[in-house]
Structure 1
């Protein structure tokens, strides 16, 4: 394994303080929300483990830590790809009312939620079984179970690949970036049931806002600070 993996610091400028005995994982959890977007060496090892040749992948990242990568899905993780606004609202629900999330990234106006293997196959089936289509509350047949639309979800599993952000934070140039970066060799990953719950909660919340009598829409809040220690 690459010698770079022996360093458990974050892959960012200023990480040299970890060589003086600072617990970088505790630092990651205790610092501000921006720290959650920093990949650690252990997180990079987990990402590389999704490839057939993790050592070669790590060697490439060591040479080009600011370049995005492409990783296969289906073994270490699946990815649920949703529109950015809907995905942000899912994250707010997951962290405010649920178990939290796994790693999350943004790319080209979409949000990539890393999920447990098998989620890509099961989540669309669960949504279909729940009859959660693109319609609104009229689909509930007047039962009072108001629901808003769930946008089409792109589920990436076995045979698919996704672009992941660089290991180090790049400038905000519109490229891929981490919202919740991997920070351990065994990150917790939500399954299809957890993501279905988040979709349902966001859908019902959207329907509730649409039925409000206020003439001014409720402004979207800024991104929450995600306490990654909660999902341990």
Structure 2
């Protein structure tokens, strides 16, 4: 997961070649970042610590107590999108199977914490409402500027506490933005729907798995 390319293309109706270009980008990202780890590496710890007010002190604390969870502020190094575990699993499946992969992900108490690009917590709820997907998506808890979250320990020792699903392993992890998270939410909703319910992602001639359209057919 050390080589990431950021896909900032908005999910909105556009030219006919948008879907093909997005598919190519996603395929490249999957090829470059297929592997992921459930254990934090030293560069990943440095990235996490960069979110703290005093990064060096945070790293020193982790070195002394690697099994202790930490509380980090959101909004600078990352935002957090907190989703129900089952829906989060569907989102991750889509992100890794058809999309660009994910950033770091943690799990705790039946929820998944997706680390996202700063600003995502503010924009994602608005995008869901704008695209009329707000009612179809389970309640999301979006943590941004002014919020803090408990993250798993660098070396979790308890199965009951927070744990890493995809641990940070680089100083500059790729983090999905609000448009990519919107795409993942739409795909996760589609995965959980009955087969006879038609949902598409932008008007397009073909309806194969590589069409990314964010409109809902009622």
Question: Aligning the two structures, in what range does the TM-score lie when normalised by the shorter sequence?
Answer: 0.7 to 0.9
Equivalent position to 2:150, from 142, 159, 163: 163
Tell me the distance in 2 between the aligned counterparts of 1:55 and 1:152.
36
Q: Which structure would you say has the larger Rg?
A: 1
Aligned to 2:4: none
Tell me the distance in 2 between the aligned counterparts of 1:89 and 1:176.
19
Tell me the distance in 2 between the aligned counterparts of 1:189 and 1:166.
20
Counterparts of residues 1-232 of structure 1 (less than 5 Å): 36-134=37-135, 149-172=136-159, 174-209=160-195
Tell me the distance in 2 between the aligned counterparts of 1:56 and 1:203.
42
* Matched position secondary structure for 1:79: strand
Q: Please, which runs of 5 or more residues in structure 2 have no aligned partner?
A: 1-32, 198-218
How far apart are residue 169 of structure 1 and its match? 3.3
Tell me the distance in 2 between the aligned counterparts of 1:108 and 1:159.
23
TM-score (norm 1): 0.68
Aligned to 1:25: none
Mapped contact 2:90–2:191 kept (Cα < 8 A) = no
How far apart are residue 85 of structure 1 and its match? 0.5
Aligned to 1:12: none
Greater helix share, structure number: 1
How far apart are residue 84 of structure 1 and its match? 0.5
Q: Please, which runs of 5 or more residues in structure 1 have no aligned partner?
A: 1-28, 135-148, 212-232
* Matched position secondary structure for 1:36: coil
How far apart are residue 171 of structure 1 and its match? 3.6
- Tell me the matched-pair count: 165
How far apart are residue 208 of structure 1 and its match? 3.0
Cα RMSD over matched residues? 1.7
- Pair 184,96 (structure 1): closer, same or farther in 2 beyond 3 Å: same
Tell me the distance in 1 between the aligned counterparts of 2:91 and 2:153.
24
